[in-house]
Amino acid sequence: MPTPYNRIAGQSVERLAALSDGVFAVAMTLLVLDLHAPAVEAVHNEADLSHALLAIAPRLLIYLMSFMTLGIFWVGQQTQLNCLAQSSRDLTWTHLGFLLAVTLTPFSTALMAEFLAYRTALMVYWANIALLGGILYASWRCAVRAGLVKAEIPPDLGKGVERRIIIAQSLYAFGALLSVFNTYCSIGFIILVQLNYVLAPRLWVLSRL
């Protein structure tokens, strides 16, 4: 039997959403700190600047990929929170675990940007994505089991939330497996998956993912 404190702790969805927004904002900002303008002493003409910019292009690509990653998960967790009538102590701590995974994203991004051709770096990045997806799924299941979802939310929407996470994580896992052949192919596939969720194409097959 929960104690009176545990019954009332962490019930505010609004406070949880506010904390989430702050954590996501900081994590998204930290991503860009790994991008640095070319050193002045290394640039003497237009050609040098062009070559220097091409040299940082891979880091810029990883930055954009991670920004999309956090954007997708921010939309997902906000959608879930908007479906809740209230939170609970268990759900709040589960969601705090999700935010922990969010704060790890700048590290896994910097690691992959530094060691782009190394499979281990990509596996760490994928593990970060898998942790985000897994905890977000657990958070939704916790809310459903505890009866925290608003009464007007149709059951098929809840199933859609779960299906969307499972499909996305399966696609990310397939993308990670492609690193067995080539890390660049793996990164390219992951970016395509992200673009699908960002752009929400009207194509029937893709729109169901």
pLDDT digits (tens, 9 = 90+) for 174-205: 999 999 889 999 999 999 999 999 887 654 45
Give pLDDT, residue 52: 77
Q: How confident is the model at residue 1 (pLDDT cuts 50, 70, 90)?
A: low
Contact (Cβ atoms closer than 8 angstroms) between residue 130 and residue 169: yes
Determine the average pLDDT of the residues in 17-43: 88
- 5-12: long-range contacts, CB 8 A cutoff, minimum separation 24: 6/89, 7/89, 9/88, 9/89, 9/92, 10/87, 10/88, 10/89, 10/91, 10/92, 10/93, 11/86, 11/87, 11/88, 12/86, 12/87
Residues 155-176: pLDDT tens digits? Answer: 888 888 899 999 999 999 999 9
The HSE-up count of residue 85 (CA atoms within 13 Å, CB side) is 9
Indicate the pLDDT class of residue 118, thresholds 50, 70 and 90: very high
Residue 2 has pLDDT above 70, yes or no: no
Gap between the Cα atoms of 205 and 208, Å rounded:
6
* Least trusted range by pLDDT, from 42-56, 80-94, 102-116: 42-56
pLDDT at 7 over 70: no
Confidence (pLDDT) at 9: 54
pLDDT band at 11 (very low <50, low <70, confident <90, very high): low
| pTM (two decimals) | 0.87
